[in-house]
Amino acid sequence: MLFHLTSASKKENQLKRRYDEELTALITAVHQNYSTLLQLEQNAYDLPEDLLILEKIAKVKYLFLLREVKKRQLTADISAPKKAKALKWRKRTNHAEDIFHPE
């Protein structure tokens, strides 16, 4: 009986991890879509109503996913994770050793 309980909890943990990864990927995609629409709205002179409606829908989706992430207590870098990782960006500080680092 003990083996059966541990395998069930192991399966639950695997499912939770898989859904957390999917949620992280989804919120990253929705955030990029929402930020693109926001930039269009800010840079365009006259925007059609269709794009305004799409921007509002993207905002609602993004806020809903943020609430889900808070419920699950997940952390993720949604700004530009692939770009930051590829370019080896660091957090900006005023320390000389962080500014001038040999690589």
Which tokens belong to 11? Answer: 């399966």
Where do the structural domains in the chain lie, given as residue ranges?
A: 2-91
pLDDT (0 to 100) of residue 80: 52
Tally Cβ neighbours within 10 Å of residue 24.
19
pLDDT (0 to 100) of residue 76: 65
C-alpha to C-alpha distance for 50 and 68, rounded to whole angstroms: 27
Q: CA torsion sign, 27 to 72 to 17 to 4? A: negative
pLDDT (0 to 100) of residue 79: 59
**HSE-up (13 A, CA, CB side) for residue 23:** 19
To the nearest 10°, report the CA torsion of 57, 63, 65, 66: 160
User: pTM of the entire structure?
Assistant: 0.61
Q: What is the pLDDT along the chain (103 residues), one digit of tens a residue?
A: 555 556 678 888 888 889 888 988 999 999 999 999 988 888 888 888 888 899 999 999 999 998 988 888 877 666 554 544 444 444 445 555 545 444 4
